Amino acid sequence: MQTVQKPKAMGKSPRSFKRRKYTKLDKIIFFSLFIVHIACIFAPFHFTWPAFCVAFALYFITGLCISVSYHRNLAHKSFKLPKSMEYFLAYCAAHALQGDPIDWVSTHRCHHQFVDTEKDPHSPIEGFWFSHITWLFDSYNLTKKVCPNYFTDFQKVDRSIFIWFSKHGRPDNVRDLEKQTFYRFIHKTYFLHHILLAILLYQVGGLPFLIWGTCVRIVVLMHVTFMVNSVCHIWGKRRWNTKDLSRNNWLVGLLAFGEGWHNNHHAFEYSARFGLQWWQIDFGWYTIRVLQAIGVAKNVKLPSTIHKQRLFIDY
């Protein structure tokens, strides 16, 4: 019988807010997220069915593209796309307000490299709320984790008003994206695209479209995505013998387009399919299958039977 490696325990005390070194970037990010959360208070007073439908459609498009593009295609190279399709999906994902492709992929690759250790950018070993959201306001330590080779004087980084990413240094684990003009452009003009979309929504449907299509949609999708970092490393079932805290959580899997099958993902990082059982709903995988069927997605990677047998937990 296989020896099961126990996942790391959540024994580290979270850093106190008072003992953190807050930077100007932390304050900008906090203020931006505070505004979109506060705006949601007014959503019930500006509810219309067209606004709700716009919010739902944008939630589905941007959330699905975070999973398919940022995560499976760019971060893990689980499949290949023509550049035009790759850039289109990445541009849609960028409107989720979760970071530009370079920043998002860099942070996620670091998460997998140092999962549930002190070098993990967002592990619950430092507390639930840290893994869920407050890691975003800890750019000083986040930079040391993800960009150690570039961590010199973080206060001397020039920034455009349209740049919004969560690190002060230049990461060295996304050179494949940094070589491409498109991703450098999105990196440098990131926030501008959100402003343009917000203006478009306001012009089309007024305040209801702006509040629901921007604020409500961003806040809901943001917390659903962040549940993968927090909930899926605390609550759920483990099918595979990984060395981390990852769990499969069906509710997050349903809401986050398959991302909630997180133990599956950590066991087989390279796999384009997260919901490995027929009953594990995975909209990201269904999308990739459609792209594969029409000849757009190539070199789609899946876990082998041997790999599954080696990691399967046999109680």
In this predicted structure, the answer to whether residue 183 has a pLDDT above a threshold of 60 is yes
- Domain for residue 308, yes or no? no
C-alpha span between 204 and 37 (Å, rounded): 22
How many percent of the chain have pLDDT more than 70?
85
- Domain for residue 9, yes or no? no
The whole domain housing 27 covers: 18-227
Mean pLDDT of 292-299: 98
Q: Are 255 and 59 in contact (CB under 8 A)?
A: no
Please choose, from the candidates 88, 96, 122, the residue with its C-alpha nearest in 3D space to the C-alpha of residue 190.
96
Average pLDDT over the chain reads 89
Backbone Cα Rg of the chain: 19
What's the domain count of the chain?
1
Mean pLDDT of 5-14: 54
Q: Are 47 and 78 in contact (CB under 8 A)?
A: no
Written as one letter, the residue type at 207 is L
How many percent of the chain have pLDDT more than 90?
74
Q: What is the pLDDT of residue 315?
A: 46
- Domain for residue 12, yes or no? no
- Domain for residue 188, yes or no? yes
Q: Which residue has the higher pLDDT, 266 or 30?
A: 266
pLDDT band (50, 70, 90) for residue 7: low
Q: Which residue has the higher pLDDT, 32 or 251?
A: 251
Question: Taking the C-alpha atoms of 133, 256, 303 and 99 in order, what is their torsion angle to the nearest 10 degrees?
Answer: -50
Q: Are 29 and 164 in contact (CB under 8 A)?
A: yes
In this predicted structure, the answer to whether residue 156 has a pLDDT above a threshold of 60 is no
**pLDDT per position as a tens digit, 42-91:** 999 999 999 999 999 999 999 999 999 999 999 999 999 999 999 999 99
- Domain for residue 76, yes or no? yes
- Domain for residue 46, yes or no? yes
Written as one letter, the residue type at 211 is I
**pLDDT per position as a tens digit, 229-261:** 999 999 999 999 998 999 999 999 999 999 999
- Domain for residue 137, yes or no? yes
- Domain for residue 10, yes or no? no
In this predicted structure, the answer to whether residue 158 has a pLDDT above a threshold of 60 is no
Token pair belonging to 96: 């989720």
Q: What is the pLDDT of residue 4?
A: 52
